[in-house]
Amino acid sequence: MQARRRSLRRGRQRRSLLVLFGLALAASAGLAATAGAPRRGGAAPPRATGAPTRTPTTAATRPTTPTTTTVPATQTTTLPSVTTPVFHSEMLALFEGIRSGNVAVAARAFFPERAYLELKAISNPAADFQDRLMAEYRLDIAAAHALLGPDASSARFDTVTVAPEAAWISPGGCYNSIGYWHNPGARLLYYEGGAVHSIGIASLISWHGVWYVVHLGGVYRSSTVGLVDSPAVGAGVPAPPGGC
């Protein structure tokens, strides 16, 4: 009788264990289902895809290379061109300096001091550059600015014409130790009051293949005053060849 009771108790215990095990499995399945389902009132978590999302890209625009001019490193016997960006930039600076009365702007077109010190075969080229050439250039810029009158700000640059009669000045000529090209016949053209006007550029000389202004209003003067070289309505007449 006792053996039978022990057998019955073991059977009930096994059945209880099976029930508990089944309940545990059901609970685990429910938790897994809850984790995979979206939350109420919220969005479902994003699903991973096989390929990553790429951000659209814009092709880079290739920059435009500006036109440049190769300037020789030393003095050259090649006649400078008047069609280069360098020359155009210089002449535009000259006119803007005249229009505004700003010598610092116009100085970009003027013969470089370091070149003058190398070029001239005189006792004190630095003093001659500052006290004569640059001093006269300042006076001539002011005189040309005054020529434009009260409406100077309305004047607009047109072009610079350069006469073909350039001359090569050999070393030893005009107190110079290095040869250079000289051109006295250039004219600066501009628009003002609906018409073309012009003034002369008394002297251009070359350095390392580039033209520079060395005298604007005149080469020689009887007093310390600013000069305007042959102002005219229209293109004017280039100066005759000569000088250095």
DSSP state letters, 125-172: HHHHIIIIIIHHHHHHHHHHHHHHGGGGGG-EEEEEE--S--EEE-TT
Q: How confident is the model at residue 242 (pLDDT cuts 50, 70, 90)?
A: confident
pLDDT at 162 exceeding the cut of 80: yes
Of 1 and 127, which is predicted with more confidence?
A: 127
Q: How confident is the model at residue 71 (pLDDT cuts 50, 70, 90)?
A: low
Reference 85, options 108, 109, 60, 67; nearest CA is: 67
pLDDT at 36 exceeding the cut of 70: no
Q: What is the pLDDT of residue 227?
A: 98
pLDDT per position as a tens digit, 110-157: 999 999 999 999 999 999 999 999 999 999 999 999 999 999 999 999
Q: How confident is the model at residue 70 (pLDDT cuts 50, 70, 90)?
A: low
Mean pLDDT on 42-62: 32
The pTM is what? 0.71
pLDDT per position as a tens digit, 99-112: 999 999 999 999 99
d(CA 144, CA 197): 12
Q: What is the pLDDT of residue 30?
A: 41
Mean pLDDT on 10-18: 43
Mean pLDDT on 55-69: 33
